[in-house]
Chains A and B, each alone.
Chain A
Amino acid sequence: DIQMTQSPSSLSASVGDRVAIPCRASQRISNYLSWYQQRPGKAPKLLIYAASSLQSGVPSRFSGSGSGTDFTLTISSLQPEDFATYYCQQSYSTPWTFGQGTKVEV
């Protein structure tokens, strides 16, 4: 199975900050990587697919980069509604696996 590692599990930031959230795969997954945002009590929301493609309707301050084993979700200017938990997920091979999440806190 492919393990997805997100570290740190939480990070502190302020409104207006540029935030980078890393994700590492235990083996090469090309660009088969998606990013999700989850707010408390809500279902996850797709932000990025194919490592760097912005999902329709998602603000352009979100961007994704990387290929192979190392990926990054970047929020260019953190907004109040962006304080949430972010998950990466690989769809290169089953079982499709998620990272353990990174919580962005004030």
Chain B
Amino acid sequence: QVQLVESGGGLVKPGGSLRLSCAASGFIFSDYYMSWIRQAPGKGLEWVSYITGSGSTKYYADSVKGRFTISRDNAKNSLYLQMNSLRAEDTAVYYCARKQRGMAVGFDSWGQGTLVTVSS
């Protein structure tokens, strides 16, 4: 079955960096767009970034553009999010999610999430 497992979260000081990973299994990883989506404590969902199956195209929310970098290693079935210049407002649970193939589709598989806390 499809499984997504995030790791790499933790406590980091403002201005610091962190790299999140998402290990995928149970499907042909390179066939799917993947995204990072976050949720601040007690708040709603915010899409952060996506990457195409080949990794050739990436998009970012304005709130993270220039600070976060999404990447993937299809040989390792892994998705990454490099987060630099972290701010208190980046504190959230970060989910990796698989986008269904096709048009007008949604995120059909999600990891359990990893908590990132930015605080001095």
Contact = CB atoms under 8 A, between A and B. Distances in A.
Interface in A69-106: 87, 89, 91, 94-101
Given A91-B106, A94-B59, A95-B62, A44 B45 contact: yes
Given A91-B105, A95-B62, A43 B45 contact: no
Interface stretch (B24-32, B71-79, B83-91, B108-116): B108-116
Contacts of B11: none
Given A34-B106, A49-B104, 6 more contacts: A31-B104, A32-B104, A95-B62, A96-B35, A96-B47, A98-B45
B44 A98 contact: yes
14 contacts: A34-B105, A34-B107, A43-B111, A46-B106, A46-B107, A46-B108, A49-B105, A55-B106, A87-B44, A89-B45, A91-B105, A96-B35, A98-B44, A98-B47
B110 to A, nearest CB: 4
Interface of B: 35, 44-47, 50, 59, 61-62, 95, 99-100, 103-108, 110-113
Contacts of A94: 50, 59
A51 interface: yes
Interface of A: 1, 30-36, 38, 43-46, 48-51, 55, 87, 89, 91, 94-101
Contacts of A33: 104
Contacts of B104: 30-33, 49-51, 91
A30 B103 CA distance: 11
Nearest to A49: B106
Contact of A43 (B59, B99, B112): B112
Nearest to A42: B112
B103 to A, nearest CB: 8
Contacts of A1: 62
A100 B59 contact: no
Contacts of A87: 44-45
Nearest to A101: B44
Contact of B110 (A43, A50, A89, A96): A43
B50 A96 contact: yes
